[in-house]
Amino acid sequence: MAESESVIEISHLATRFGQHIVHSDVSLEVRRGEIFAIIGGSGSGKSTLLREMIMLHRPDAGTIKVLGQDLQALEAAEALALRQRIGVTFQQGGLFGSLSVLENIGLPLREHTALNSSVIDEIAAWKLALVGLAPETAQQYPAELSGGMNKRAALARALALDPELLFLDEPTAGLDPDSAGGVDALVLKLRELFGLTVVMVTHDLDLLWQVADRVAVLGDGKVQGVGSMAELSALTHPAIRQFFDGPRARTAAMEGKEQAWKAK
């Protein structure tokens, strides 16, 4: 089975914005090869936590280790090297509006490798196909694409440098059910193909039940529970219950459990 080496270790993280305490004591661990989801109510600090893991924000206390490196202790060159081992997609897509899709996907390669321009274009075109986009989209601009296509293109760009670790911020937000289902399948396929570790921040219950191996629930500045969806459903903290009670949660749970049963 997969080694249970820790890809991300967060211990006793604290974050404040002025007087507002976002995280008071957050600790969690992500193992290699797993799909890890971070969930919580609005304002629970999920996106802030994600930003701290990808070095866009410095926490006020605590340590974060990504791929074995302590983020607080990194020099600029080390940080740059680490950034090339992770891929990130953003809630708004984050594609550069002035570049075509192909140029977007090829940008990390142009920046960090000495490859030939035509080779970069070919690799970018392959990644495009990998995420399920038609070849015609290569020359289109982000503004011309639908939301689902934008997210896929952003995913292709995140995969440009073959990262070991992928961070997805609300990968299915704003997508129609069909596109969202496509994202589910795509994440699973990519994990299988490349042995990726995936960390995602999401509200999407279907995504959680179908795709996530383990889930951490953030609430009141701490991690209120970590485990598979089935394990979490037995816990009683209100921050956790909202994901299991209520008509939407129960339907998603049924579907998820059915899928797991069929897979056996």
Q: C-beta of 154: minimal distance to other proteins in Å?
A: 8
Question: If binding is defined by CB under 8 A, does position 144 make contact with other proteins?
Answer: no
Q: Considering only residues 38, 66, 88, 175, which one is a binding residue for other proteins as defined by CB under 8 A?
A: 88
Beta bridge partner(s), residue 226: 216
Q: C-beta of 27: minimal distance to other proteins in Å?
A: 24
Question: If binding is defined by CB under 8 A, does position 69 make contact with other proteins?
Answer: no
Question: If binding is defined by CB under 8 A, does position 115 make contact with other proteins?
Answer: no
Question: If binding is defined by CB under 8 A, does position 86 make contact with other proteins?
Answer: yes
Question: If binding is defined by CB under 8 A, does position 226 make contact with other proteins?
Answer: no
Q: Considering only residues 91, 113, 233, 242, which one is a binding residue for other proteins as defined by CB under 8 A?
A: 91
Q: Rounded CA gap, 192 and 19, in Å? A: 44
Judged by beta carbon, residue 83 or residue 237, the one nearer other proteins is: 83
Closest to 227 in 3D by CA, of 58, 34, 42, 77? 34
The count of residues interacting with other proteins (CB under 8 A) is 23
Judged by beta carbon, residue 172 or residue 224, the one nearer other proteins is: 172
Return the range that interacts with other proteins (CB under 8 A); candidates 105-113, 131-139, 178-186, 192-200. 105-113
Q: C-beta of 105: minimal distance to other proteins in Å?
A: 11
Judged by beta carbon, residue 83 or residue 241, the one nearer other proteins is: 83
Is residue 201 within 8 A of residue 45, CB to CB? The reply is: no
Q: Considering only residues 16, 32, 65, 112, which one is a binding residue for other proteins as defined by CB under 8 A?
A: 112
Angle, CA 170 vertex, CA 168 and CA 173 arms, to 5°: 140
Is residue 149 within 8 A of residue 69, CB to CB? The reply is: no
Q: Considering only residues 3, 20, 75, 97, which one is a binding residue for other proteins as defined by CB under 8 A?
A: 97
Which amino acid is located at 67 in the chain? Answer: L
- What is the Cα 53 distance to its own chain's centre? 11
Helices marked H in the chain: 46-53, 76-83, 101-112, 117-130, 147-158, 177-194, 205-211, 229-232, 238-241, 247-263
Q: Rounded CA gap, 135 and 192, in Å? A: 24
Q: Considering only residues 16, 65, 83, 257, which one is a binding residue for other proteins as defined by CB under 8 A?
A: 83
Question: If binding is defined by CB under 8 A, does position 78 make contact with other proteins?
Answer: no
Beta bridge partner(s), residue 10: 28, 64
Scanning residues 43 to 62, which ones bind other proteins (CB under 8 A)? 51, 54-56
Token pair 């039940």 is at which residue? 209
Q: C-beta of 90: minimal distance to other proteins in Å?
A: 4
Q: Rounded CA gap, 225 and 239, in Å? A: 9
DSSP helix/strand/coil, 229:
helix
Which amino acid is located at 203 in the chain? Answer: H
Scanning residues 156 to 195, which ones bind other proteins (CB under 8 A)? 157
Kindly list the residues in this chain that would bind other proteins in the complex (CB under 8 A): 51, 54-56, 80, 83-84, 86, 88, 90-97, 107-108, 111-112, 154, 157
